[in-house]
């Protein structure tokens, strides 16, 4: 239990403690930890106490990168110390002045992103897309069950939750059109994903085995991979998505450390054929995380992360199997999370079956995003003793093309 009011009934209690970057009016941005609806300013509290001064220095910076680079031993020191400070009444008097209501602070992009890779790890999502885009072929391409298919996205346009999304312009060509035209995307979409953040870097030529996942991965964020389906469909052969995705990728303000997710690990749905040795994992390798896709305040889908075919440890092992190095702040997305039911699909492309089967939103037929739409992705993970923990939500509003 904690002396912080409201924490006991919160999705952000003492078992959770996600990190973020915040500022107060006129003050520099620095690292904080969330408890209930407040953020604890970590550096000044650390300077009152006894954690390694390395931590206080890292927490004074405007991104989590310096802290994430300290590695798992320091992450554990930090979490144990924060838990103690927030649990023990003896700390309350000198700590409470450094707790600020979320309503009174500004939250920022929590990490300085290195490389951003996006995967395609949901069998249901990949199958749905295959059925729509290549109706005359097997839904899954031959490589899909042998490796976690992924590609690099644009790290410079990863933005914090709350950033408005300007409808992108570009070349679009519908199958019924002879020539491409230039204009605003007519098929703007979301992809509900989970993102994973690298803490500990590697050298060029080094590989991260699936067993070393937690030695390099700091935590998870909510992630919305905004997608312009018409731009993407015209541009993507043969080198993959580019402008259809690169205009914006939103992530949550809060990074949930892996330590908070210990109770959330669950078995994968099962992999057949058995992957090559470098992709072998020890179960539980999946995560029990529930997602809600909320469009203009209405829940339109509840994708279950536990249904994902490829595990995060496999994605990191695959990314580095060729000797590619990772850096602190590298981010990878899981790919759209879609379950087997229609109301578990993580994109409007799937919810509206390519726009051909509109879904109802407050009684109105909808397909892709309209200007003014607000999308929120909300996440909860299985916590200790059957509780649920909140992950950072990802919000974005569509504004008209300029």
The stretch near its own copies (CB under 8 A) out of 60-68, 233-241, 258-266, 309-317 is 233-241
Contact indicator for 185, 297 with CB cutoff of 8 Å: no
User: Does 249 appear as a known binding residue?
Assistant: yes
Residue 83 labeled ligand binder = no
Kindly state the smallest distance separating residue 202's Cβ from its own copies, in Å. 10
Asked whether the beta carbons of 21 and 108 are under 8 A apart, the reply is: yes
| Residue of the chain from 18, 32, 170, 222 that contacts its own copies (CB under 8 A) | 170
Residue 235 engages its own copies in binding (rule: CB under 8 A) = yes
Three-state SS letters, the chain: CCCCCCCCCCCCCCCCCCEEEEECCCCCCEEEEEECCEEEEHHHHHHHCCCCHHHHHHHCCCCCHHHHCCCHHHHHHHHHHHHHHHHCHHHHHHHHHHEEEHHHCEECCCCCCCCEEEECCCHHHHHHHHHHHCCCCCCCCCCCCCCCCEEEECHHHEEECCCCEECCEEEECCCCCCCCEEEECCCEECCEEEEEEECCCCCCCCCCCHHHHHHHEEEEEEEECCEEHHHHHHHCCCCCCCHHHHCCEEECCCEEEHHHHHHHEECCCCCCCCCCHHHCCCCCCEECEEEEEEECCEEEECCEHHHCCCCHHHHHHHHHCCCCCCCCCCEEECCCCCCCCHHHCCCHHHHCCCCCCCEEECCEEECCCCCCCEEEEEEEEECHHHCEEECCCEEEEEECCC
**Residue of the chain from 168, 219, 304, 333 that contacts its own copies (CB under 8 A):** 168
Per CB under 8 A, the segment of 1-9, 63-71, 298-306, 322-330 that binds its own copies is: 322-330
**Residue 191 marked ligand-binding:** yes
Smallest separation (angstroms) from its own copies to the CB of 197: 14
What minimum distance in Å lies between the beta carbon of 132 and its own copies? 12
Q: Is 278 annotated as a binding residue?
A: no
> Binding pattern to its own copies, positions 257-276, x when CB under 8 A?
----------------x--x
243: contact with its own copies by CB under 8 A: yes
| CB of 359 closer than 8 Å to CB of 378 | no
Q: Which of 87, 278, 380, 397 binds its own copies (CB under 8 A)?
A: 278
Verify whether residue 125 is a known catalytic residue.
yes
Per CB under 8 A, the list member of 83, 92, 157, 296 interacting with its own copies is: 157
Say if residue 118 carries a ligand binding annotation: yes
Residue 292 assigned ligand-binding role? no
With CA atoms as reference, report the closest residue to 128 among 394, 377, 316, 339: 339
Report the nearest approach of its own copies to the CB of residue 237 (Å). Answer: 5
Q: Which of residues 95-154 bind its own copies (CB under 8 A)?
A: 114-115, 117, 120, 133, 141, 143, 146-147, 149-154
User: What is the smallest separation between the CB atom of 224 and its own copies, expressed in angstroms?
Assistant: 15
Which residue among the candidates 98, 100, 108, 125 is catalytic per the annotation?
125
Distance CA 322, CA 99 (A): 45
Q: Is 204 in the site for its own copies (CB under 8 A)?
A: yes
Instruction: Output the CA torsion sign for 356, 357, 363, 367.
Output: negative
Using CB under 8 A as the binding rule, whether residue 224 contacts its own copies is answered as no
The residue range among 10-18, 85-93, 208-216, 237-245 that interacts with its own copies, by the rule CB under 8 A, is 237-245
186 marked ligand binding residue? no
For residues 318 and 382, which CB has a smaller minimum distance to its own copies in the complex?
Answer: 318
Decide if residue 324 touches its own copies (CB under 8 A).
Answer: yes
Q: How many residues bind its own copies (CB under 8 A)?
A: 62
Given the complex with its own copies, which of 95 and 249 has the nearer CB atom?
Answer: 249
State the nearest-atom distance from the C-beta of 58 to its own copies, in Å: 21
**Single residue of 181, 262, 340, 371 touching its own copies by CB under 8 A:** 181
In whole angstroms, give the CA distance from residue 292 to residue 298: 10
| 53 vs 24: CA distance, rounded Å | 23
Q: Which residues contact its own copies (rule: CB under 8 A)?
A: 114-115, 117, 120, 133, 141, 143, 146-147, 149-157, 159, 163, 166, 168-171, 173, 179-182, 204-205, 228, 231, 234-243, 246-248, 273, 276-278, 318-319, 321-327, 330, 402
Which residues are known to be catalytic? 125
């Amino acid at each position: 239990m904690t002396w912080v009011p409201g924490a006991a009934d919160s999705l952000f209690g003492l078992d959770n403690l996600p990190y973020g970057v915040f500022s107060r009016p006129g003050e520099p941005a620095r690292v904080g930890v969330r408890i209930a609806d407040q953020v604890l300013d970590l550096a000044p509290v650390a300077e009152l106490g006894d954690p390694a001064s390395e931590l206080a220095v890292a927490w004074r910076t405007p991104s989590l990168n310096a802290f994430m680079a300290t590695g798992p031993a320091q992450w554990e020191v930090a979490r144990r110390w924060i838990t103690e400070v927030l649990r023990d009444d003896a700390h309350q008097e000198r700590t409470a002045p450094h707790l600020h209501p979320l309503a009174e602070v500004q939250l920022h992009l929590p990490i300085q992103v290195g490389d951003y890779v996006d995967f395609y790890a949901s069998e249901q999502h990949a199958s749905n897309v295959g059925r729509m885009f290549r109706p005359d072929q097997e839904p899954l391409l031959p490589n899909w069950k042998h490796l976690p298919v992924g590609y690099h996205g644009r790290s410079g346009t990863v933005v914090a939750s709350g950033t408005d999304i300007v409808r992108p312009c570009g070349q679009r060509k519908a199958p019924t059109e002879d020539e491409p035209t230039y204009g605003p995307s007519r098929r703007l979409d979301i992809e509900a994903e989970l993102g994973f953040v690298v803490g500990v870097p590697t050298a060029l030529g080094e590989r991260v085995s699936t067993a070393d996942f937690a030695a390099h991965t700091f935590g998870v964020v909510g992630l919305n991979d905004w997608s312009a389906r018409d731009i993407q469909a015209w541009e993507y052969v043969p080198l993959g998505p580019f402008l259809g995705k690169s205009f914006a990728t939103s992530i949550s303000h809060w990074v949930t450390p892996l330590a908070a997710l210990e109770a959330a690990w669950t078995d994968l749905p099962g992999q057949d054929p058995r992957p090559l040795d470098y992709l072998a994992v020890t179960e539980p390798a999946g995560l029990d995380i529930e997602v809600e896709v909320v469009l203009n305040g209405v829940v339109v889908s509840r994708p279950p992360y536990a249904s994902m075919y490829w595990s995060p440890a496999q994605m990191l092992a695959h990314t580095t199997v060729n000797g590619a190095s990772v850096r602190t702040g590298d981010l990878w997305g899981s790919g759209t999370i879609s379950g087997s039911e229609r109301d578990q699909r993580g994109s409007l492309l799937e919810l509206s079956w390519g726009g051909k089967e509109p879904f109802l939103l407050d009684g109105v037929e909808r397909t892709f995003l309209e200007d003014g739409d607000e999308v929120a992705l909300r996440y909860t993970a299985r916590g200790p003793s059957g509780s649920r923990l909140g992950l950072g939500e990802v919000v974005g509003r569509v504004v008209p093309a300029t």
